[in-house]
Structure 1
Amino acid sequence: MADGVITSEGETATGAPGLRGLAYPLGDPPTPGEAAEAAPGVLWMRLPLPMALNHINVYAIEDGDGWVIVDTGLQTPDSVEAWEAALTGPLGGRPVTRVVCTHMHPDHIGLAGWLCERFDAPLLMSQLEYITGRMLASDTGPAPEDGVRFFRAAGWAEERLERYRQTYGMFSKGVAPLPAGYRRLSAGDILSIGGQDWSIVVGNGHSPEHVCLWRRSDGVFIAGDQILPRISSNISVWPTEPLADPLADWLRSLDRLGDLLPAETLVLPGHGEPFTGVLPRIEALKRGHAVSLKRLARTLRTPSRAIDVFPSLFARPVGDGLLGMATGEAIAHLNHLEAQGKARRARDADGVDWWTTLETEPEE
């Protein structure tokens, strides 16, 4: 999972269908250091990211005389500068009372420890996200041979495997030290912020126990990366759990959210712009992955490595900077077909997995 530092949210992600049914009621995003009102008592801020996906949205919720912060950005000088401007500007110099992180990817937890220490504020996360984040932040190397075997099996060349060895441990570079303790958030919890109740909704697949916040009283849903408006959340398999089927977890989460959320919900996502139209978006995401899986099954009529199936999943060429994430997402789709009895793998003498379809007449 260490390559998830460049994640999270896939410029290479599959299932980027049309945006019919979506509306963006808040207009242009705020510049770093500024804020826009997303809903009563909720400010929308945007921080820069030094990658193809060049921003993350963070939110501040009024909490009496202070603010609850939801997600924090990556630990970079640009993000710190934007926070300094926001804290003295639109946040009015008022203290941060709590820090909530939706999940453990570095662009979401990177400055959580910095904010918690600065304001003596507690960190709130789900258990699996906190533990996984602490684990990855402390894993600075050397690169495990299990990881090398994993990416060799996917078809990586030896020179790219050597680069993996040399750059392993980048997760910690984007994350300030996390607090030694936290307050657990679990599905169904009610979080009181400024006299308003926010229900904790948990999703899976993009990360282990992703927290979303839902203010039922007016239909505001802080989604993190569980639902994004313009791209599909990155759903990947990593060396820590090579046989996982996170795509099944994510699709089940989409089904639950589709049953739970009203049609008029205002979604405040981790990337892209706040939007309405959550139900058609959920259906489009599910449809996009179904189409990708059909294309993948057709591709596997010819034995293929994970790196060979990129064209059936991604709309653009995969450059070296996105190879780790694209590989993880390709394996997630291959594992999903395998779990459904529609594909199998065979490892050759060089340690490379070759995938083939088990469908005699793949559906067109």
Structure 2
Amino acid sequence: MPHRLRYPLHDTLPMPGQTLQVAAGVHWLKMPLPFALNHINLWLLEEQAGWCAVDAGYDSADTRALWEQHFGGSMGGRPLTRVVATHYHPDHIGLADWLATRFDAAFHASLGEIALAKAVWHDLPGHDVAALNRHFALHGLPEAKQAQYAERGNTYHWGVKSLPVTFNRILAGDVLRLGGSDWLAIPGYGHSPEHMALYCADKGVLIAGDMLLPKISTNVGVWGGEPDGDPLRQFLASLDRFLHLPEDTLVLPSHGRPFVGIQPRVAALKAHHDERLAAMLAAMDGPMTAYELLPALFGRMFDLYQTMFALAECIAHLNYLWHGGKLVRRRDADGCHRFSIAP
């Protein structure tokens, strides 16, 4: 097993509006994001009659303009025949409806992802901003920040202007015939409800989505729709599904550079979360809220947008320790959940 990751493409990156072939029939596109994490990797698979897009990008004027360049340039005027979303987050599904509608292309996703996408997009109870604020208030989010979230509204719409009305369901273990090759759907839980990575044995390639990133650990959070959930345990267990893949598999992540080294990356991700869990326990100084423990998990505080994800991740680590019997949780007179070391 290699001890570190290898980056076979070195510093080679696709230029805006251009693609870079990373394996036979597999092309890499980079699209911009309006966040600190400023890009997403998308993948085009050559089909007999056109192209299959794996993930679609965030719905912004910049991303649409780059897609327009691809339509007549790197795609050679050939249409998209299918659009596949690994999961429901805006940078992945944002332009799926626009692309599928433009080309009358089939759209593929798991039921868990499209269901949650529609719940969030339509502000269904438990998935709206009011539910987010109630959830975060239980964990100590100050009222001033709650007011800012309420004023800001549903940010999912910023990057997802519309969603496909119909879809083709991907089940765990399905084999999708894409670009003349078989791609195995490998489920991942914790980052999103039913994330699907795609593995092609013939090409030695894994389209990993957000499950395996080379430099950072993907966000694993607890949200208002499932406040007592244990997504970190689900995420760590999901990583084991990739360990049987060959060591020389080329991993195509959604953020960062393609790499080789699944096994050491899984080990590093598990070690990272073990270290963060230990830091949470070490920081416990009597009963504390998740908001009070943010510096222990991340070493700093964040802006409003980042606080949402950081607090959700902090709750995920606390719930992991709580469900594992390391912490106890009680709801105090002020209505906040506080965690403390189990006796």
Q: Partners in 2 of 1:224 and 1:170 — Cα distance?
A: 22
1:117-149 Cα deviation digits (max 9, x unpaired): 000001100111111112211228995644332
Match of 2:142 among 130, 140, 157: 157
Normalising by structure 1, report the TM-score. 0.90
Indicate the residue corresponding to 1:195 in structure 2.
180
Q: Tell me, what secondary structure is at the counterpart of 1:103?
A: coil
> Residues 262-273 of structure 1 correspond to what in structure 2 (within 5 A)?
262-273=246-257
Asked whether the 8 Å contact 1:95–1:119 carries over to 2, the reply is yes
Distance in 2 (CA, whole Å) between partners of 1:146 and 1:48 is: 30
Equivalent residue in structure 2 for 1:70, among 54, 77, 86: 54
**Which one of 10, 21, 25 corresponds to residue 4 of structure 2?**
21
In the alignment, residue 7 of structure 2 is paired with which amino acid? Y
Partner of 2:70: 86
The question of whether the paired residues in 1 share the 8 Å contact of 2:331 and 2:337 is answered with: yes
Aligned with 1:34: secondary structure? coil
TM-score by length of 2: 0.95
Distance 1:129 1:36, change over 3 A: same
State the Cα deviation string for residues 194-242 of structure 1 (Å, max 9, x = none): 3211111111110011011100113100000011110001000001110
Q: Residue 234 of structure 2 corresponds to which residue in structure 1? A: 249
- Equivalent residue of 1:306, what SS? coil
Query: How far off is 1:270 after superposition?
Result: 0.6
CA–CA separation in structure 2 for the residues paired with 1:209 and 1:307: 27
State the match for 1:124 in structure 2.
108
Shift of 1:342: 0.5
Q: Are residues 1:138 and 2:122 paired?
A: yes
Alignment pair present for 1:336 and 2:320? yes
Q: Does the 8 A contact of 1:140 with 1:172 survive in 2? A: no
The equivalent of 2:274 in structure 1 is 290
Q: Which aligned pairs between 1:145-224 and structure 2 lie closer than 5 A?
A: 145-224=130-209
Please say if 1:51 is aligned against 2:35: yes
1:316: how far off? 4.4
Deviations 1:77-112 (A, max 9, x none): 010011111121111111000000000001100000
1:36-47 aligned at under 5 Å gives the runs 36-47=20-31
For structure 2, the residue ranges without an aligned partner over 5 or more in a row are none
Gapped regions of structure 1 (runs ≥ 5): 1-18
Cα separation, 2, equivalents of 1:47 and 1:140: 30
Aligned counterpart, 2:93: 109
What's 1:11 paired with? none
CA distance in 1 between partners of 2:103 and 2:241 (Å): 36
- How many residues are matched? 340
Alpha-carbon separation, structure 2, partners of 1:144 and 1:317: 21
> Quick one: structure 1 residues 177 and 268, their matched pair in 2 at CA, closer, same or farther if it must change by over 3 Å?
same
CA distance in 1, matches of 2:49, 2:128: 46
SS in 2 for 1:298: helix
Q: Distance in 2 between matches of 1:285 and 1:114?
A: 35
Give me the whole-angstrom Cα distance separating, in 2, the residues matched to 1:338 and 1:126.
30
Structure 1 stretches of at least 4 aligned residues deviating more than 2 Å after TM superposition = 140-149, 315-321
Tell me if structure 2 keeps the 8 A contact 1:136–1:172.
Answer: no
Partner of 1:50, secondary structure, is coil
Contact 1:154 1:306 survives alignment (8 Å): yes
SS in 1 for 2:292: helix
Q: Aligned equivalents of 1:32 and 1:330: distance in 2?
A: 35
Could you tell me how far apart the structure 2 residues matched to 1:317 and 1:173 are? Answer: 24
> Who is 2:303 aligned against?
319
- Cα RMSD (Å) of the superposition? 1.7
Taking CA–CA contacts closer than 8 Å with sequence separation of 6 or more, which of the two structures ends up with the larger relative contact order? 1
Alpha-carbon spacing, 1:140–1:339, altered in 2? closer, same or farther (3 Å): closer
TM alignment of 1:220-231, pairs within 5 A: 220-231=205-216
What is the CA-CA distance between 1:21 and the residue it aligns to?
0.8
